Structures are given as C-alpha cells and as structure tokens.
Amino acid sequence: MKLLIALVTYFTLTSSYVYAFSATTPPSRNGDRLGSRVGSTGSDRSSNPKSSGRRVREPKRDDSTSPDISSHPKHNGRRTREPRRNESRRKRPESPRRSQRVVSNPEPFDALTLVSKQESNEDAQPINLSTATLRIISSHGKDATSDSLAQQLNTQKVDQDKVLTYFSLDDLFPNLDFSKLFNTNSTFRESIRSAIRRDIFNSTPGSNNISEKVAAIMLADESSLQGTWNIANVKMEALTQVLVDGLGESAPTGIEFMKTVGGLCGKNPSMHWIDIIGVKKRIISHAWHQDTGRLHPGVDGSDNTEDGNCDSFTVMLGFPCEDLFTGTGIFSHVVKLDREHYAPIDHNFNEPILFEGRIEENFIVRPKFGLGSEFVRFRDVDVLHSAPDVTYRTSVMRFM
C-alpha cells in the first residue's frame, strides 16, 4: 500500500514540473519550443555554467567563421556591419564615355598592298658616315667613324653610278628566253629554287649523316638554308634536269649556271651562298649592316688590292611569290655611302658589321625586282644594307 502511494505522488510531481517549465519557455523563431528540441539537433545551452541558467542566442551559421571585430581597438567596442557576400564584387556602373568606346581591330597585314606603295628611290643621295648619327655596335660600341678604315686610310669616293647594278637571266644566258619563263612560270621558278637547295645540301659534308626528318625540316620551303656555291665541291644534277626540262637541250648545266652566277661576285669571292626567307608577316625595323666590310678575304683574310681589279660583290637572285611581279620587298634595302667603309682591322671576317642609329627615309633605296632585273649586285664597302622592312617574296638567294 505504501509503495502504491509513493508511485502516485512521484508521477503527480513530475507532471506538474514539466507543465510549469514549458509554460515559462519563450517560443523559438520557427514556432517550436526549446523543450521539443532537446535531444534532437539543438544543444541544451541551459546547462552551460556561463549562461547562469539563462538561454543565450545561438550563433548564425556564418558567425563561427567571421572574426570578432567588436573587440578591435579601432572599433571602440562597436561592431561594424560585415559586407554581404557579393557586395565587394559588385561592379561600378560603367561611365558613358567608356561604354561608347569602340575597339577597332587592326587591319590585317597585307604585304602586297604595302610594297605597292613603296618607291625605289634609286636617286637617293649618299650619306657621310663622319656626320651620320650611326655607331658600330659589333665593335665595342665605338663611333662608326672612329673605327672606319675609309676615314683613316682610304679617301676613295664611291662611284654613285655603279653602286647598284642589275642583271637579267637573259644577260647571263642569252637566246633562251630564260627571263620570261622564270617570271611567268611559277612551277619552273620554284623547281629551280628547290633544285639548287637540294643539290647544295646534298653536297655539304656530313649531310649523309643527317636523319631524313631533320633533312626535311632544313629543306622545307619556309626554312633558310646556307652552304657554298663552289662548283669544285657541289654536284648540281637536280638543277641540270630542271633547266633541261624547262629550256631544252640548249640549257646550261647546273654547274654552268652556278659558275656563271658566281662569276658576278668578282675575283676571289668567299663562295658563300644562302637562301634567305625573312620575316613575312609583319613590318620590321631596318637593321643596317655590312656583311664583311671587305672587298674580298684574300689568301690570308686581309684585303688585297695589288692588281687594282680585285673587287668582290654581293649578288642577289630574287624569287617572287607571284608571276610577272615588279616591285620592292624582294631585294635587300641599301643606303649609299659617299666613301668606302671598311671593317675595323681586328674585326672577324665572318662576322657582319652591325650599325645602330636611325637613317632618314630619303636616304633609303629599295631596289625593285622585275622582268629583266632578276639580279642585283653591289660592293659591301659601298653601302649599308638591311632586310626589307616589308618582305614580299618566296626567298632571295645571296651569292658572295
């Protein structure tokens, strides 16, 4: 009996306590009371000793990751509003002037249009290196005139009527209509170029040891190639066949072709040959230089003038990229000198003499290629020269 009375008393007191607690608890934001959250996802903060039995606000999800800046000395205990998530990334409204700007695309590079606007300027006056604002940059940065043998040892004036000389294929190989076929038949023209490149490459010592893949890269149409045109060392069998196929049985052999063209280089030439491609897809600045600054190497690498007729020349054969082309963009550009300029005494023969400085446009000559002027020739001591500022060609072959 006593046990029954004790159980009734216990349940009565427990029910009264739960009712009283739930009646005094404030509702949560979502309408639930704290009593319904105990034992679920929430935590019972009333048991925290720091809360002293009072319920404290639960932090928001982002409060745990944001710093407490209320204690920062610059804020004097005041809490500042944190920027919203995207507020810092918000773009400012674009100004009317900026929104009205139109970015125009640059005009595409058109070499043919550019060279068609260029003048040859064959009658340009020569420059005087003693007064020109040029410096030799391949000789310790000294002034060009201080290292010029022409100023120190030679007062020879340049014959301005002979600075540039043009030749045609008909001049060298008459009665074959060579110039006409060369200028009107791109297949014949390109076959000559490819045959010369292949013959010289195959005659170069060590070429047999080069892999087929590397050889194909070196012989690619858009790759410059150099070697020697020395007929004692090269076999021009491919060129012979191309010339016979195009010109008939009266055509010169490949060896005769190279010997005749090389003969334009004068006495004791270096016999260096190069097929130059150049920069074709943009305008470049002129880079003035001399290839050797000498008339010819001589036996010991020095200049040799004892017979008065030892001049050596640079000869260029142009390969246009279209038939019947007449214009600039194939041959090198030149600046005439009023007096011969030789390399410094200690300058290596195989290194070009590089100049820096600007030359006025009215002094620049842009030699024209055309039917009857497939070759141009000049002495290296008479001019400064540079690759064209606008190149429009397949290539140009240089014989020295």
Burial class (CB in 10 A: 0-12, 13-18, 19+), 218: middle
pLDDT given for residue 98 in this prediction? 44
Cα–Cα distance between 234 and 200 in angstroms, integer? 6
- Can you read off the two tokens belonging to residue 350? 């195989």
Regions of the chain where pLDDT drops below 50: 1-8, 10-53, 56, 60-75, 87, 96-103, 149-153, 298-309
The pLDDT, as a whole number, for residue 188 is 98
Report the 10 Å Cβ neighbour count for 318.
22
Using DSSP bridges, classify how beta strands 375-378 and 353-356 pair: parallel, antiparallel or unpaired: unpaired
pLDDT at 208: 79
Residue 52, class by beta-carbon neighbours within 10 Å (0-12 exposed, 13-18 middle, 19+ buried)? exposed
Give the C-alpha separation, 260 to 315, whole Å: 12
Domain ranges across the chain:
111-399
Beta-bridged to residue 136, according to DSSP, are 355
Q: What pLDDT does 297 receive?
A: 53
Q: Spell 240-263 as b/e; 16+ CB within 10 A means b.
A: bebbeebbeeebbebbbbbeebbe
pLDDT tens-digit map of 117-132: 999 999 999 998 888 8
Half-sphere exposure of 286 (CA within 13 A, CB side): 23
Predicted local confidence at residue 89, as pLDDT:
55
Note the pLDDT of residue 81. 60
The torsion defined by the Cα of 249, 253, 258 and 260, in degrees rounded to 10, comes to -60
Please tell me the predicted confidence (pLDDT) of residue 30: 41
Element (H, E) at 226: strand 225-228
* Cβ-based burial of 366 (10 A; exposed 0-12, middle 13-18, buried ≥19): buried
Res 138: pLDDT: 63
What is the Cα–Cα distance from 279 to 114, expressed in whole angstroms? 14
- DSSP-derived letter for residue 47 is G
Q: What is the pLDDT of residue 311?
A: 80
| Alpha carbons 139 and 301: distance in angstroms, whole number | 18
Sheet holding 225-228, edge to edge: 165-167, 375-378, 314-319, 395-399, 272-276, 225-228
Q: How far apart are the C-alpha atoms of 224 and 193, rounded to whole Å?
A: 12
Residue 367 and residue 326: Cα distance in Å, rounded? Answer: 10
- Cα torsion through 335, 312, 273, 203, rounded to 10: 180
Spatial separation of the C-alpha atoms in residues 171 and 166, rounded to whole Å: 10
Q: Which amino acid is at 156?
A: Q
- Contacts with 48 (C-beta within 8 Å, 6 or more apart), sequence order: 56
How far from 302 is each of 139, 294, 311, 337, CA to CA, in Å?
18, 8, 13, 22
